[in-house]
Amino acid sequence: MLVAAAVCPHPPLLIPELAGAAAVELDELRAACASAVSALRAAEPDVIVVVGGADLAGTYGADAAGTLAPWGVDVRIGEGEPVLPLSLSIGRWLLEREHLAAAEFHAVPSDATSQNCAALGRRLADMAGRVAMLVMADGSACLTEKSPGSLDPRALPFNEAVVEALACGEVPELDPARAAELWFAGRAALQVLAGTGSSLNGDVLYDDAPYGVGYFAVRWTE
């Protein structure tokens, strides 16, 4: 049974060692992510799982680690083999900051169908005991003229609709093709959360686009 969830973004610059002098610009987001993740501990779960988008599907155990070497600084996250994709590496980093550990890490392909995502969500929610989930999900990268995907007028209402739903403890059905057009990287991971069928209460702790990419931090609690 899912008893808590946290939704956080996964930009490499979230890690201060990589951000350098620009680290202070994301201090508010880091604090919001810390509050969202700490809510997982407060729920007293028996198991924590992390879900994030990636190029390929993959399931990793508790010892899996990550590295940010592809983004310019060889910051290691965890002591195992650095096999985690970016989203799950940042997820592990967020958990370790709060002295928490995940039992499993799940990479979900960005083009995964909603049905497959929902099936994974149901399976994770049905794990034995109390389950908490950390969902790594970036919003649209088409929100401003300086966004990585350039400005798309459809992006802001799409992004806002997702955040509004999360605030109500819900995840809207997200069209994979439209999400891809709007560079909405968190689509698949959020559809996994939707598949849990939870009825938790939502609370948005952060919602902004400091680099033209939608970043939101949300906690779901009983």
For 122-179, write each residue's pLDDT tens digit: 999 999 999 999 999 999 999 999 999 999 999 999 999 999 999 999 999 999 999 9
How far is the C-alpha of 46 from the C-alpha of 128, rounded, in Å?
8
CATH of the domain at 15: 3.40.830.10
Q: Does residue 25 have a pLDDT over 90?
A: no
Look at residue 169 in the predicted model and tell me its pLDDT.
97
**Band of pLDDT at residue 74, cut at 50, 70 and 90:** confident
Q: How many angstroms separate the CA atoms of 59 and 49, rounded?
A: 10
> What confidence category does residue 114 fall into, taking pLDDT thresholds of 50, 70 and 90?
very high
What is the per-residue pLDDT for 24? Answer: 81
Q: How many domains does the chain have?
A: 1
Distance, CA of 57 to CA of 184 (rounded, Å)? 18
Residue 34 lies in domain:
2-221
